[in-house]
């Protein structure tokens, strides 16, 4: 069975790299491998400073998608990323691991590979789960991004720690009023 590299893992890689950017080509390669997103393809290539720079540009574009104020703006920004980083879908069996769909040629630099995964994964995430399923933490002082993978689609915090911290803050504010 071939897993879809353009699914939630690609969006979570974007969250990971946006929250804690890679500072070297080796770190980018390691983070991609840890995410499980096309890790074999990253491992088989030399990750360069140019790849790191290309990923940073794609992440800046992705953060604009996260921060979009309405769904039409968000859709326009995702579509711009898709136009920039993807090509027509194609079936491939590049490693003999079964036929699957790619939205890029097989031989692209790692920076382009990651940008394609992030843009396509984000489009599939928003179309499949809901256009509002990206955001920034609601806790005062925390602007960490998140991808809402919850069943209810009501995630507001980047982590349980921030959720708990905000709940305690609200509880204390209510207690002071009483």
Q: What is the pLDDT of residue 33?
A: 87
Q: Where are the alpha helices (DSSP H) in 67-177?
A: 71-85, 110-129, 160-177
pLDDT tens for 39-88 read 666 777 789 999 999 999 999 999 999 999 999 999 999 999 999 999 99
Which positions of the chain have pLDDT values less than 70? 1-6, 37-41
CB hemisphere CA count around 65 (13 angstroms)? 32
63-72: Cβ within 8 A, 24+ apart: 63/18, 63/145, 65/122, 65/134, 66/18, 66/134, 66/135, 66/136, 66/145, 67/136, 71/131, 71/132
Instruction: Tell me the β-bridge partners of 100.
Output: 92
| Structure letter (DSSP) for residue 95 | T
Q: What is the pLDDT of residue 37?
A: 67
Length of the chain counted residue by residue: 178
Q: What is the pLDDT of residue 2?
A: 41
What residue ranges define each of the domains in the chain, with the CATH number in brackets? 8-134 (1.10.3300.10)
């Amino acid at each position: 069975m071939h897993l879809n590299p353009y699914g939630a893992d690609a969006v979570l890689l974007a969250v990971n790299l946006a929250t804690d950017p890679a500072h070297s080509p080796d770190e980018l390669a390691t983070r991609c491998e840890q995410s499980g997103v096309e890790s074999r393809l990253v491992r088989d290539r030399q990750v360069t400073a140019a790849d790191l720079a290309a990923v940073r540009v794609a992440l800046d574009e992705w953060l604009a998608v996260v921060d979009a104020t309405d769904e039409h703006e968000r859709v326009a920004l995702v579509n711009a990323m898709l136009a920039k980083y993807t090509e027509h879908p194609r079936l491939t069996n590049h490693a003999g691991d079964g036929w699957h769909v790619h939205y890029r040629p097989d031989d692209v630099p790692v920076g382009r590979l990651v940008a394609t995964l992030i843009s396509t994964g984000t489009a599939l995430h928003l179309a499949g789960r809901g256009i509002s399923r990206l955001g920034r933490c609601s806790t005062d002082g925390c602007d960490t991004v998140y991808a809402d993978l919850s069943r209810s689609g009501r995630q507001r915090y980047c982590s349980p720690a921030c959720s708990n911290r905000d709940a305690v803050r609200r509880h204390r504010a209510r207690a002071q009023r009483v």
